[in-house]
Amino acid sequence: MEIKILGTGCASCKNLEKATREAVQEMNINANVVKEEDIMNIMAYGVMRTPGLVINEKVVLSGRVPSQNELKELLEKNK
């Protein structure tokens, strides 16, 4: 599973990255979590509000940090 956190380094972006890494570990998912900070790459996904969450090249969330339960549901649904 390929997971990308889209964000330029704001607090919300860092919180989403931390929460995602924790959820992946708790759920024992084999995933590569990458932080994408280049604004041109972020815009290429069509994300205009960060943070963004991309799972296997599909944007599943943008503009907010989800609850831990919602994050786990997104990870499970998009395996």
Q: Which of 5, 6, 13, 24 is catalytic?
A: 13
Is 10 annotated as catalytic? yes
In our burial notation (b when 16+ CB lie closer than 10 A, e otherwise), range 27-47 reads: eeeebebebbeeeeebeebeb
**Opening angle at CA 40, ends 57 and 17, nearest 5:** 55
Is 56 annotated as catalytic? no
Could you tell me the two tokens for 60?
Answer: 């599943």
Q: Which of 1, 10, 11, 34 is catalytic?
A: 10
For the annotated catalytic residues, the residue numbers are 10, 13
